[in-house]
Amino acid sequence: MSEEKPLDSSSVESEGARFKRLLANTSIYALGELGLRFLTAIFTPLLTYYLAPAELGVWTLALMLFAGFSTVCGLGLHGAVTRFYYDHEFDEPAQRRFQGTALSFLLLWSLSLCLLMTWFGPALFEFAFTDLAFWPYGAFIVWMTFISIAGLIPRALWAAAERSRLFVGINLLGSVTNLAGSLGLVIFAGLGVMGLFWGRTASLLVLAIPFTVYSVRRVGLAWNGSDLKAALAFSLPLVPHLLAHWVLGMSDRFIIDHHYGGDGQLGDDGLSAGLRAVGLYGAAYVFINMVNMIAVSMNRAFVPQFTRAYQDHSQRPFVARSVTYFLLAISCTSVALAVLSPTLILVVFNERYAAAAEFAPVLALAGLFQGVYYIYVAGLFYFKKNTLIPVITILSGLLNVVLNLLWIPEFGLVGAAWATFVGYVALALGVRWACRRYTRLPFETGRVGWLMFVLLSVVGLAVLLEGLLPLWWELSVKIMLLAMVPLLLHWVGFWRPEELAWLKQRLVGSR
């Protein structure tokens, strides 16, 4: 590898400064992710009062298709742009040539696919879905995807360069548009689920403006055969992985729709029982999305520092501490949402969605293993060992599909949630095995063990509380139980003296 200069720069930067930057970037990214998922996560309870479960089911399936089609259009090139950024970090002409080539190819490829999908989409939708029409839903999905491609290269570059404030500032601009437009069109204009489609389209168009300006000024268009070959050699093995990851995360809703909507019966709203079931499941899926929000935020802050530090063996303690913080963030979020989600659904959501309380905790806990996957993939990406990733993800996705087909008829939506949980456990174990073939990531094993012990104890106590108290009392007691986690971690010796000193300094300074 040729990144000698980043190594030199990291060696003179204190460990405290790097941890401070890691925390700062994670906080900024978390704010941005919160904005991006504001509508579906924070305002989902509000939407349940204005959208019937079947309408939310339409939007849930649309987001599923948007994610899958975006993967096909993007071809994983954002991963290549991020990884090769460090190879060209101090060679601006080579950087512009590589990034411009990736951008030119992306625009041609995605435009061609969107035109083909517009032509063949109606037939494909009629074949694949019982009651989801291409016009207007599918057409919105296709061209929303094309608009979103404008941000793929800029976002990858800003994440690699740790320009978290710019990354998040632009995203929050789109989020405000999405939030205001979608809620306004759903609640005040009475457009129902179509308000969500128009609101998301408006937000993507707003974001496309700064993305385009940045691409014209800083990237430009270029075409270099060797750069394109190198980019595709890195990214194409990731496409089956990304699609299998999509299947792992989204196939349950497709199977739910077909299982519950197979008889073709429609409700008073003209939509099928399948879409109503998808809507219930989508309401609970918000909690795994919130865990992933934290995991993605940590990952964006973690990967640049991991990539620069891992080549220097003296920096392994820094990497190990970073992994501990990564696990601390995602495990605490996952457990908190697993504990709170059933009570929150019964207290805050519309009563039409009460059935989601039964399986929401399972999905929230599945998010923990989705987050663990990011840690081991960072090691594989560092060594550019991508070939095993798609194999593992495909196998995990197939396992998820098989379990959904077996468990949904037997256990209903609860079976779908457990199939998702098992699928993400298999994914995390698979990438761990693959990563350990090339390197053993440093872990603070004792600290991680105590963390898991405390959190599992809290989950056990929360399970015992279920149904024993009135709902608002139950929610209050659960919140107090979760608030004790930092104290319990202190009691078992999880916190290091310097971390306690840092926390004390922050608490004193905030007074």
Q: Is residue 406 part of a domain?
A: yes
Amino acid at 460: G
Mean pLDDT by 10 residues, the chain (511 residues): 38 55 57 55 81 91 92 90 81 90 95 97 89 91 96 87 75 80 89 93 92 92 93 85 82 90 57 86 92 84 79 84 93 96 94 95 95 91 80 91 96 96 96 92 93 95 89 93 94 88 67 54
Give the DSSP per-residue string, 34-50. Answer: HHHTIIIIISHHHHTTT
d(CA 159, CA 149): 16
Q: Rounded to two decimals, what is the model's pTM?
A: 0.81
Number of structural domains found in the chain: 1
Residue-level pLDDT at 9: 40
Q: Is residue 283 part of a domain?
A: yes
Q: Is residue 460 part of a domain?
A: no
Q: Is residue 453 part of a domain?
A: no
Tokens of 501: 């000193």
Residue listed under structure tokens 């989409």: 121
Q: Is residue 429 part of a domain?
A: yes
Enclosing domain of residue 191: 4-443
Q: Is residue 431 part of a domain?
A: yes
Residue 90: CB atoms within 10 Å: 13
CA distances from 175 to 99, 139, 206 (A): 26, 22, 10
In 361-480, at which residue ranges do the beta strands (DSSP E only) sit?
A: none
d(CA 103, CA 413): 41
Residue-level pLDDT at 117: 97
Q: Which residues of 404-416 are buried (b: 16+ CB within 10 A; e: fewer)?
A: beebbeeebbebb
Q: Is residue 499 part of a domain?
A: no
CB 40 within 8 A of CB 286: yes
Q: Is residue 456 part of a domain?
A: no
CB 183 within 8 A of CB 39: yes
Cross-strand pairs, 272: 266
CB 115 within 8 A of CB 40: no
